[in-house]
Amino acid sequence: MKNTVTVIDTKEQILNVAEQQFAEKGFSGTTLRGVIREAEVNIAAIHYHFGSKEELFIAVVRRVAKQVVQSQLQQLAKYENQAEPPSVENILEAFYAPPLRVITQMGEPGLIRAQFMGRCRAEPLPIQQLADKEFNESQQRFLDILQRALPNQTRTELQWKLDLAIAIIIRTLNQVGQSGQLITGSSVEEVEIAISRLVKFVAQGMKNFD
């Protein structure tokens, strides 16, 4: 039992350190040597759990995506089987609320996670695509239901608008806690107000067909 706990703790420690270093330095600036030093593990532990820096990066993204995507899809499932398409506002709330609620409630680790998500969108295309792959299922399901809600718009146009919606949430998360920004703290009331404002703002752009 003790060995199992040790293995889990070692893997989580590596992921935690790697997430922080990828967030601060990006993929190219992060080295396995640096992760090993900060996590206080040896190279064998990295190779045992992950194999390479690329696989370690994917594992960090997958951990982040699992937490966010599961919450998003649980919210979205409430609307997917309805006979009538939901409002764009309902769809966007299902998209925006889970990551904002989860990350702002994490405290300091949440700020690192938000920074990491922002870095993923700013990486060179091959690395960015590794990250995007982990969120692809969720994004396709959101596109499917947006297509039902906005049948006069093409899939390409909705994809472009969803990309912009993602950019907005990433920017919002990256600025959590900074004065003068949409979310300066982590109170439930402040987060819910921010979600409402984001939904109203982005919904107008989504529904605009001209």
- The predicted-structure confidence for 78-106, as pLDDT tens digits, reads as follows 998 888 999 999 999 999 999 888 888 88
Q: What percent of the chain has pLDDT over 90?
A: 62
Distance in angstroms (rounded) separating the CA atoms of residues 85 and 88: 9
Q: Please give the domain boundaries of the chain with CATH numbers for all domains.
A: 61-207 (1.10.357.10)
- pLDDT-derived band of residue 1, with 50, 70 and 90 as boundaries? very low
Q: Which residue has the higher pLDDT, 117 or 200?
A: 200
In Å, how far are 22, 24, 35 from 27, measured between CA atoms? 6, 9, 12
Name the DSSP class of 86: P
Structure confidence at residue 129 (pLDDT): 92
Name the DSSP class of 152: T
Q: How confident is the model over 50-72, as a mean pLDDT?
A: 93
Structure confidence at residue 182 (pLDDT): 77
Can you state the angle between helices 108-122 and 88-104, rounded to 10 degrees?
Answer: 120
